[in-house]
Structure 1
């Protein structure tokens, strides 16, 4: 160590002996800190230590750049982000540099997608360095930190845990999504007890307030040497007091070896003068002790190759709350830092740099003229005087505090608070009182915030925002950045261009209302198509259809949309990482969904439907349909059967109405599904894991698509065999099986009626009767003619069961039907309305249609004579089937063609018989 800081070391060691019981344990730490400061400050390559989003660092950077005018700036930032820095000219800060990868090569399976963000604000030292370098053609900006690929190579968990922060606006806090944050200068004690000690004795609420009071404010007006020495001192202190974590320490040291290796490589290849070079890094890394440190350090570190992963780079919007949530800062701290920066700039503390053409700011400053650099000055000990001198007493800025108090009352009244001028005076006096209690010469924004909460927010919050949040808005607000059109990826620009006929400024973050008359302006149909695809691809809330729908076979005449596309700019930009156009991204997502390891047949059918709705690509739709056939044949459970049935019916109806013939894949799906479900039917009936709804859906597929399947070559004997081999035990499945038996002709309605009557007369079966009834109701889908019988069954139960049985049974019946067959209740209600009388007087004379007539009609046998008898005799199979459906006994032919229910039906409608006879004759 040089003699520069000898006096400081002796002073610190003397303090350790005076104030500690064991000075040896403290002296080693203090001596090491002084050595770190001396080593960083005497290095031939100038090291500029910074803190993340620190206005003091930004002001010191702006002043030092104008004084030194370096020709090369080494910046601690991922080296592969360098090509996109120029895009910052088209943006409104804050924004974040992003690297994104979804197709990984060289990382464990299932690790993606991977994403890294590096937020940039105007009040940050890195932005001042970037703006200076990009606006001066003679200045070279070199990023020297590890690449994005190495960030995840060196991270064993791939996605490092991010500190959490309580934020008032979760939507803004989530702007960075699941990305890993990269920051320059993370200065925060890794020692929890030390942080708690500093916060407690500093009389502050959190670390951000401590940093603002005891570091930021003193360093805002400090000279450059004092700033550097204090920052390295703090970085060394936190580094030496950090709890031992070998993995984290190795990762930090590898970063430092990486950066110094890159800088020496660049100096060797470029021949740059080290005297005109500046290295911008976090204060934590400025106090590095690795052997590779410095221009004369060892060249023993080998940089590993990147993986074959293809990374995509771009800019996404950011916000103050997103930065706070990403890096665990207190809510409002970045907004207060921004306000401190702007106040210092207005006071003339420094002349900042701003990229030419930067959105949302003042006129850019002219680029500094290149001049000969000043000779290096000898390093002097500024720390001793800085640490020993009392803090300068800041003068109370009455005008500023008075303006805050008036504005917060005005803002509070606007948000529903009953605030008045008296509250403004109270906030003013309380702010000064709190500052005095905390040993501050002037109120800070944090004092003002506490005073406003105390004086205005009495007992309740009338609106969505509390007073603390209103103070943050007043002091700078949650500023939200925006990426300019020219810096957007091709897909995002294409979307904005295709939506241009709407005549809306879609880059605004406010709500936009789009009204489209698609018949009067057919050119807007292209916009409608884009909006529906965006609704499918973007997160919920980005846009919402108010009028209009997107369904198979339907076409909207008018549409109305609420659009927040500007607010979801990040999501739109990340779509651009997946493809060049919306259609390409849509196809990729559909293809990925159907080839996923967990994809089912219903997922594939949903993809087919989406392909028809949103894309005009029959070949791609056919590919998805063929995949649906493969998935259905590979399924070994029937959990997905209800969804499969619903979607295949809808698709078949669409094709029959809009296409001359069914596509080949639908025919394969129907024939394959028919055989597949016939095979699984006996197992599904007996399997306890298969529900009644799933079995009913299988029967619905087999019965309702039976005609199409038979026309395509399927064998009905396969279905009859599957039904006969089924032997369920659950009441609901037993009812389904009986319904299936009636459909294939094994069981008649009369037999079914008799079985149900036996159940209602059996006290042991009555408690489970609701489950039987649920099975019958769910059988209405595969066997619709049972609707009348179910109404009869339910009516009979209410008529025959005594109150002592019926009343305890009703709750179970209602809950069972609501849970398992709610969608079929309207069908039963319609059937009941058709069968029951419509007026009250007709009820007394009404006879249920399922009750037999008391008196037979005369001359029954004479009616069928002639053409009707010849017609029935000529078609015995059809006559037997109709007679079975009507409940006639098997020997109805021997008893005469007019016997039983058939004869009664014919006799009851002589006019109809005469009409049919006339048609046949």
Structure 2
């Protein structure tokens, strides 16, 4: 029994055409028949009978409405053909279209574009939505093989016809629905073309697909197809492409009602759908009341799902109050056209790859077969010169019809039941078109050979026969493009794909390909047009969808300098694939004289168009982005310094740089961590060097930044040494800022005592930070070099501390930025380690040392290499007799210590006694007072022990001074 009912349901949904409009009691027989079937299946007519008869009631209700409802499915060739026929027959004066009402001004620009394109509403700065949603984007793709394009073209090209968009605004789209993923379930990952819509929310007319997964799986299984697009093409598109308007209308409403009733109980989505329907009917009533239009001369174009609506506001004769439309948020929306493509539409709406291309090919074929004249916009980028491409062949009949007023519509025909005939009649099987199939087979073999396949005439014959076989297995007399694709893959594609494209992709290309649209120059926003105008001296066609090479010799052609500047700004603002520099660079204080660029602007129109939503010129957009970056809640001082540098490099604006620099001072003073200290140090050094080389004095913000940073980092230094979250590289950057910029900071009023106090208060625990502190204290004169050497010798001599020597070395290497004079000492330390440590200790120790230096101090290791090159002998022969300089100095120190003391008599005591002021100052530093003046009458040596020790320890200095004054 279950199998029989499944077959009956399939037959009801997949049989061929026959029948017409319904209304009143025209469906009595069909309703009774469905009730009897429900009783036979379930034993009682409640559940199933309610669904089946409810479908008939929905059809009856929609067709009885005074305002003609035209149900459509998105990108459906059958809907486009039926729309073209109906528009020529009825010639309506008002068309209500299910599309975001705030996108209406964009429709007039479609004639300047090559389809497919998408209408876009964009908001970069939001008000009333969560901040993480920004930017907001809503797109509505338009293809030529769609009913909405036929309605738009007819309305825009026919005098006296008004087109009214009645669906919710872009603002309400985000108010009513949470953000959803761009691709539907089961969709493949989009390629570069599929990314044309980005993460925008898509809206289309007629999203007609089962929202009940079990129902869709049932239809696919019993229809012997792989995906929904193929099922729809076989069981809806093909039967309805040749059906009359009455049959088309009834069947589409029936399918919309079926999918509406057999959907899961999703309260949120049901509420959104019903609110949209209330919204649209409210807008229709408001327009009719305001204009006094005759409903008989109007048409309402909506998705078949909404045509079967059951909301209380449905229909012009409803007594329900108007729907209370909520107000829009404070978000400022911007509108424009962006290029689209078949693959982008498929990826965004979860359609099978190639389905939109096949629909376009099916529409073109149906137009030729049925001789229906579609409407087209005049003056479009597709090369047409009017709304009516085929009309030109018939002596301009279409154009004349557009210039005359539409005739009064004929009286409505009586409603008859044609749905029963469609559901119970046998399918109309198209005969085999051998010529068409043979052309397909020859063409696919030719494409396969061009793409590396070893295909031959035998493969063409095999594809031909296999296509017929597959169609027969699937109850089709005529192979569809999907049957042909499967046959080609089976017969031609072997174990591997020799090129970039497989056979399925080649079939899509052959049947129409992934057509990509383009927005014409006149439809571009002012910024995009300005970009085209300013890059015109390059002599390139920026509308081409190919990569073009631009060569700029700025010395020979200085007039190309503005083009170069603009390209660098676009490089900063646009994705990498749009603008790529091959040769040349632009940095602070540096500029190339020759540049080479790869420009792919034609395929990245969307990015440039969205720049136009942010400003009128590229400079304005860049300035706004820099300001927005530094005022972002997550902005840091490093972010602000980067913005200052970008303002100077790209805009050359000292005013903007000063403004951003002042913000950098505020951000630095507010920071409580040292995470970004290395980047802050690198950027402020570069900016200081630039300003010193280009101006007489530093900007005020630079001086304030150095002074603030000095005091700020002195305050954070003890905490950073003790904080495990602050690594040695960050602490070293702080110390480098304090030490290397100390002279400038002191000249600006800072106190060196702050730094000394901070260093004395530091209590590090890690080995690397300890070595860094030792180096800083040595640089500041708080730790003698001999004591530092003694501490490091103790590390190498203690077996317990040997494993941590790599961390100590890393700390010393990090300190080379603030104390470059320690470079010979670090080379000495490493040399001692290699000389003293046994192999059992050294060999496991070396990998760790290398890894530590590479991870923490890679850019400073070259300093050690250069110093080692100066220290060690240049050839192997000299190595045996070589004595390390630190060993020679140690050997010389005891000899100097045992040298005789200062002579008992001579000019030195007299010099000290004759000029006591300098010696008094030194004595006060040493804490000796003035006791050194007690000199024997005979001119003997000084009796003060400190002075005697000083002269004895450094006799060379005293002798040199004595020789000068002798």
State the TM-score, normalizing by the size of structure 1. 0.94
Q: Does 1:566 align with 2:588?
A: no
The verdict on how the C-alpha distance between 1:381 and 1:765 changes in structure 2, with shifts beyond 3 A counting, is same
**Counterpart selection for 1:229 from 250, 271, 281:** 250
User: What is the match of residue 579 of structure 2?
Assistant: 543
Name which of structure 1's ranges 871-880 and 637-646 shifts more when overlaid on structure 2.
871-880
**Counterpart selection for 1:59 from 81, 94, 101:** 81
User: What is the match of residue 620 of structure 1?
Assistant: 656
Q: Does 1:495 align with 2:531?
A: yes
RMSD: 2.7
Structure 1 ranges of 4+ moved more than 6 A: 857-863, 869-881, 890-893
Q: How far has the Cα of 1:105 moved from its partner?
A: 2.9
User: What is the match of residue 826 of structure 1?
Assistant: 862
User: What is the match of residue 121 of structure 1?
Assistant: 143
2: CA distance, partners of 1:274 / 1:805: 96
Per-residue CA deviations over 1:430-454 (Å, capped at 9, x if unaligned) read 1111111111111111111111111
User: What is the match of residue 521 of structure 1?
Assistant: 557
User: What is the match of residue 791 of structure 2?
Assistant: 755
The verdict on how the C-alpha distance between 1:465 and 1:870 changes in structure 2, with shifts beyond 3 A counting, is farther
Q: Does 1:723 align with 2:745?
A: no
Q: How far has the Cα of 1:361 moved from its partner?
A: 4.4
Q: Does 1:90 align with 2:144?
A: no
Q: Does 1:139 align with 2:173?
A: no
Q: Does 1:894 align with 2:948?
A: yes
1: CA distance, partners of 2:777 / 2:447: 74
The verdict on how the C-alpha distance between 1:627 and 1:788 changes in structure 2, with shifts beyond 3 A counting, is same
Contact 1:514–1:563 (CA under 8 A) maintained in structure 2: yes
1: CA distance, partners of 2:418 / 2:923: 112
State the TM-score, normalizing by the size of structure 2. 0.90
The verdict on how the C-alpha distance between 1:87 and 1:389 changes in structure 2, with shifts beyond 3 A counting, is same
User: What is the match of residue 238 of structure 1?
Assistant: 259
Q: Does 1:40 align with 2:62?
A: yes
Q: How far has the Cα of 1:739 moved from its partner?
A: 0.3
Name which of structure 1's ranges 567-576 and 267-276 shifts more when overlaid on structure 2.
267-276
User: What is the match of residue 284 of structure 2?
Assistant: 263
Per-residue CA deviations over 1:307-349 (Å, capped at 9, x if unaligned) read 3322111101111111111111111111111110111112234
Q: Secondary structure at the match of 1:142?
A: strand
Contact 1:13–1:27 (CA under 8 A) maintained in structure 2: yes
1: CA distance, partners of 2:813 / 2:85: 81
The verdict on how the C-alpha distance between 1:876 and 1:434 changes in structure 2, with shifts beyond 3 A counting, is farther
Contact 1:152–1:159 (CA under 8 A) maintained in structure 2: no
**Counterpart selection for 1:426 from 459, 462, 467:** 462
Number of residue equivalences? 904
The verdict on how the C-alpha distance between 1:5 and 1:475 changes in structure 2, with shifts beyond 3 A counting, is same
Matches within 5 A, 1:690-709: 690-709=726-745
**Counterpart selection for 1:348 from 370, 391, 411:** 370
Per-residue CA deviations over 1:845-878 (Å, capped at 9, x if unaligned) read 2111111355769999999x999x9899997799
Q: How far has the Cα of 1:501 moved from its partner?
A: 0.7
Contact 1:167–1:321 (CA under 8 A) maintained in structure 2: no
Unaligned runs of 5+ in 1: 884-889, 908-912
**Counterpart selection for 1:180 from 187, 194, 201:** 201
**Counterpart selection for 1:359 from 353, 367, 381:** 381
2: CA distance, partners of 1:142 / 1:891: 106
The verdict on how the C-alpha distance between 1:660 and 1:517 changes in structure 2, with shifts beyond 3 A counting, is same
**Counterpart selection for 1:393 from 425, 429, 433:** 429
The verdict on how the C-alpha distance between 1:358 and 1:437 changes in structure 2, with shifts beyond 3 A counting, is same
1: CA distance, partners of 2:297 / 2:963: 112
1: CA distance, partners of 2:523 / 2:963: 82
1: CA distance, partners of 2:407 / 2:697: 80
Contact 2:181–2:199 (CA under 8 A) maintained in structure 1: no
Per-residue CA deviations over 1:687-720 (Å, capped at 9, x if unaligned) read 1111111110010000110111111111111111
Contact 2:121–2:335 (CA under 8 A) maintained in structure 1: yes
User: What is the match of residue 418 of structure 2?
Assistant: 382
User: What is the match of residue 305 of structure 1?
Assistant: 327
The verdict on how the C-alpha distance between 1:487 and 1:192 changes in structure 2, with shifts beyond 3 A counting, is same
User: What is the match of residue 272 of structure 1?
Assistant: 293
2: CA distance, partners of 1:504 / 1:14: 72
Q: Secondary structure at the match of 2:407?
A: coil
Per-residue CA deviations over 1:202-247 (Å, capped at 9, x if unaligned) read 0000111100100001100000000000000000000011111122
2: CA distance, partners of 1:282 / 1:113: 28
2: CA distance, partners of 1:891 / 1:566: 87
2: CA distance, partners of 1:404 / 1:866: 113
Name which of structure 1's ranges 346-355 and 106-115 shifts more when overlaid on structure 2.
106-115
2: CA distance, partners of 1:516 / 1:567: 22
Name which of structure 1's ranges 362-371 and 342-351 shifts more when overlaid on structure 2.
362-371
The verdict on how the C-alpha distance between 1:636 and 1:431 changes in structure 2, with shifts beyond 3 A counting, is same
